[in-house]
Amino acid sequence: MTNKKISKNGQIGIPKQVRKQLNIQNGDFLTIYYDNDVLVIEKWDNQHHNQLNQCIFSNGRVSIPIELRRIHNIELDFPVTMEISNKKILLKQ
C-alpha cells in the first residue's frame, strides 16, 4: 500500500516497482474506471474493455480523465491510497 496525491492537473505517478510488477511501460494504453467507490487502473486489453476510459501511460504518470474526475467528485491535490490487486492498481480516497 502506497500513499500518493492526485496532482492539480489530474495526474498520478505510478511507482517504478508497481510499473515493473504490472509490466507497464511508456506508451502503454491503460483503462481507468470506477468499481465500488474505488478508482481502478489496469493495462488496456482490447478484448475486455472499450476505449471510452482509455489513456496513455507516459513518464511514470497517468492522467485521470476530467469527465471521470467530475462524475465521481475526485478532489485534486488530495491524498489517495494505492494498492495492487489482480494486476490492477486500486486508488482509494
Each residue's pLDDT tens digit, 31-89: 888 888 888 898 887 665 555 677 788 888 888 888 888 888 887 777 888 999 988 99
pTM: 0.80
Lookup: cell for 2: 502506497
pLDDT value at residue 51: 55
What local confidence, expressed as pLDDT, does residue 48 receive?
59
| pLDDT at position 14 | 92
Judged by average pLDDT, the poorest of 20-24, 28-32, 41-45, 87-91 is 41-45
Gyration radius of the chain's alpha carbons? 12
